Chains A and B, each alone.
Chain A
Amino acid sequence: MKKLDVLLYGSRKKPIAALLGMVLVMPFIISSPYIFTILILIGIYSIITIGLSLLVGYAGQISLGHAAFFAIGAYISGVLTVKYSFSPWLAILIGMIITFISAFLIAIPVMKLKGSYLALATMAINIIIYILLLGLSDYTGGASGLGGIPPLSIFGLSLESQVLFYYFVWFIVSLVIVFSSNIVRSHIGRILRSIHDSEVATETLGANVSKYKVAIFALSAVFASLAGSLYAHFISFIAPPTFYINFSILLLIMVMVGGVHSIWGAMIGTAVMMALNELIRFVGHNYLNISGEIEIVVYGAIIVIVMIFMPKGLIHPISKLRFKKLTHTPKNETSKQKLFSEKGV
Chain B
Amino acid sequence: MNVKKIMIMPLMILLLVFTSACGMFSSSSKETAQSQEKKGNSDVIKIGVIVAETGPASTLGKTEANTIKMIQKQLDETGPINGKKIELVMRDYETDDTKAVIAMDKLISDGIVAIIGATQASTTNAILPKAEKANLPLLTLAPINTDIENVYNIPPSSATVASKMIDYLVENKISKVAWVNAKDAFGVDGLPHFEPLAKEKNIEIVAHEEFDATASDMTIQLTNVREKNPEAVIVWSRTPGAGIVARNFKALGFEVPMIQSHASANQGFLDQVKSNSENIFVVAGKLNVVTQLEDSEYKSLVEEYVNPYEKEYNEPTDFFGAHSYDAVQLVIKAVEEGNFTSSDINNYLQNELKEYQGISGKFDLTKPIEGPQADGVTVLSIEDGTWKYTE
Shortest Cβ distance from residue B127 to the other chain A in the assembled complex, whole angstroms = 8
How long is the Cα–Cα vector from A285 to B7 in the complex, in angstroms? 30
B11 engages A147 (CB within 8 Å): no
How long is the Cα–Cα vector from A278 to B101 in the complex, in angstroms? 13
Of the candidates A143, A291, A310, which one forms a contact with B187 in the assembled complex, judged by CB atoms under 8 Å apart? Answer: A143
Of the candidates B28, B188, B213, which one forms a contact with A137 in the assembled complex, judged by CB atoms under 8 Å apart? Answer: B188
Of the candidates A235, A275, A282, A317, which one forms a contact with B101 in the assembled complex, judged by CB atoms under 8 Å apart? Answer: A235
Taking each of A30, A36, A41, A318, which has the highest tally of chain B beta carbons within 10 Å of its own beta carbon? A30
Closest to A134 in B: B183
B98 engages A32 (CB within 8 Å): no
A310 in contact with B183 given A30-B29, A33-B105, A137-B188 (CB within 8 Å):
no
Binds B, one of A79-87, A115-123, A237-245: A237-245
B188 engages A143 (CB within 8 Å): yes
A31 engages B185 (CB within 8 Å): no
Shortest Cβ distance from residue B179 to the other chain A in the assembled complex, whole angstroms = 16
- Considering only CB atoms and an 8 Å cut-off, how many residues of chain A contact the other chain? 43
Closest to A289 in B: B69
A306 at the interface (CB under 8 A from B): yes
A239 engages B54 (CB within 8 Å): no
A305 engages B54 (CB within 8 Å): no
Closest to A32 in B: B29
Of the candidates B32, B53, B108, which one forms a contact with A291 in the assembled complex, judged by CB atoms under 8 Å apart? Answer: B53
A142 engages B125 (CB within 8 Å): no
Can you list, as one digit per residue, whether each of B82-120 has a CB less than 8 Å from chain A (1) or not (0)?
Answer: 000000000110111110011001101100000000000
A314 engages B188 (CB within 8 Å): no
Of the candidates A239, A276, A309, A314, which one forms a contact with B21 in the assembled complex, judged by CB atoms under 8 Å apart? Answer: A276
B97 engages A314 (CB within 8 Å): no
A159 at the interface (CB under 8 A from B): no
B18 at the interface (CB under 8 A from A): yes
B17 at the interface (CB under 8 A from A): yes
Query: Chain A residues with Cβ under 8 A from B128's Cβ?
Result: 147, 237
Closest to B6 in A: A309
B220 at the interface (CB under 8 A from A): no
Query: Chain A residues with Cβ under 8 A from B108's Cβ?
Result: 33-34
A292 engages B54 (CB within 8 Å): yes
How long is the Cα–Cα vector from A35 to B26 in the complex, in angstroms? 8
Can you list, as one digit per residue, whether each of A103-138 has a CB less than 8 Å from chain B (1) or not (0)?
Answer: 000000000000000000000000000000010010
A202 at the interface (CB under 8 A from B): no
Query: Chain A residues with Cβ under 8 A from B122's Cβ?
Result: 143-145, 237, 239, 241
Instruction: List A257-302 residues whose CB lies under 8 Å from chain B.
Output: 271-272, 275-276, 278-279, 282, 285, 291-293, 302
Shortest Cβ distance from residue A290 to the other chain B in the assembled complex, whole angstroms = 10
Query: Chain A residues with Cβ under 8 A from B213's Cβ?
Result: 143
B20 at the interface (CB under 8 A from A): yes
Query: Chain B residues with Cβ under 8 A from A282's Cβ?
Result: 21, 24
A210 at the interface (CB under 8 A from B): no
By DSSP majority rule, is chain B's interface helix, strand, loop, or mixed? Answer: helix
Of the candidates A145, A241, A272, A302, which one forms a contact with B96 in the assembled complex, judged by CB atoms under 8 Å apart? Answer: A241
Query: Chain A residues with Cβ under 8 A from B96's Cβ?
Result: 241-242
How long is the Cα–Cα vector from A276 to B54 in the complex, in angstroms? 19
A275 engages B21 (CB within 8 Å): yes
A37 at the interface (CB under 8 A from B): yes
How long is the Cα–Cα vector from A35 to B128 in the complex, in angstroms? 19
Query: Chain B residues with Cβ under 8 A from A38's Cβ?
Result: 25, 102
How long is the Cα–Cα vector from A296 to B226 in the complex, in angstroms? 42
B109 engages A33 (CB within 8 Å): yes
Query: Chain A residues with Cβ under 8 A from B91's Cβ?
Result: 285
How long is the Cα–Cα vector from A293 to B32 in the complex, in angstroms? 26
How long is the Cα–Cα vector from A35 to B29 in the complex, in angstroms? 8
A291 in contact with B92 given A145-B126, A276-B18 (CB within 8 Å):
yes
The size bracket of the interface on B is: 35 or more
B215 at the interface (CB under 8 A from A): no
Query: Chain A residues with Cβ under 8 A from B20's Cβ?
Result: 279
Closest to A37 in B: B105
Query: Chain A residues with Cβ under 8 A from B14's Cβ?
Result: 272, 276, 302, 314
A154 at the interface (CB under 8 A from B): no
A236 at the interface (CB under 8 A from B): yes
Of the candidates B21, B26, B98, B105, which one forms a contact with A279 in the assembled complex, judged by CB atoms under 8 Å apart? Answer: B21
B185 engages A143 (CB within 8 Å): yes
Instruction: List A321-339 residues whose CB lies under 8 Å from chain B.
Output: none
Shortest Cβ distance from residue B133 to the other chain A in the assembled complex, whole angstroms = 8
Query: Chain B residues with Cβ under 8 A from A239's Cβ?
Result: 97, 122, 125-126, 185
Taking each of A35, A276, A278, A285, which has the highest tally of chain B beta carbons within 10 Å of its own beta carbon? A35
A317 in contact with B183 given A31-B32, A239-B122, A292-B53 (CB within 8 Å):
no
A293 engages B10 (CB within 8 Å): no
How long is the Cα–Cα vector from A134 to B32 in the complex, in angstroms? 39
Can you list, as one digit per residue, whether each of A30-70 has a CB less than 8 Å from chain B (1) or not (0)?
Answer: 11111111100100000000000000000000000000000
Shortest Cβ distance from residue B87 to the other chain A in the assembled complex, whole angstroms = 13
A29 at the interface (CB under 8 A from B): yes
Of the candidates A34, A235, A310, which one forms a contact with B29 in the assembled complex, judged by CB atoms under 8 Å apart? Answer: A34
Query: Chain A residues with Cβ under 8 A from B206's Cβ?
Result: none
Query: Chain A residues with Cβ under 8 A from B101's Cβ?
Result: 37, 235
| Residues of chain A whose beta carbon lies under 8 Å from any beta carbon of chain B | 29-38, 41, 134, 137, 142-145, 147, 235-237, 239, 241-242, 271-272, 275-276, 278-279, 282, 285, 291-293, 302, 305-306, 309-310, 314, 317-318
| Residues of chain B whose beta carbon lies under 8 Å from any beta carbon of chain A | 6-11, 14, 17-18, 20-22, 24-26, 28-29, 32-33, 53-55, 58, 65, 91-92, 94-98, 101-102, 105-106, 108-109, 121-122, 125-126, 128-129, 183-185, 187-189, 213
Q: List 22 A-B contacts (CB under 8 A).
A: A30-B29, A31-B29, A34-B32, A34-B109, A41-B102, A143-B188, A144-B185, A145-B97, A237-B122, A239-B122, A239-B125, A239-B126, A272-B14, A276-B14, A279-B20, A292-B58, A293-B54, A309-B10, A310-B7, A310-B10, A310-B11, A314-B11
Q: Name 12 extra pairs, CB < 8 A, besides A309-B7, A314-B14.
A: A30-B26, A31-B32, A31-B33, A32-B32, A143-B122, A144-B125, A144-B189, A291-B53, A291-B54, A293-B55, A293-B94, A317-B7
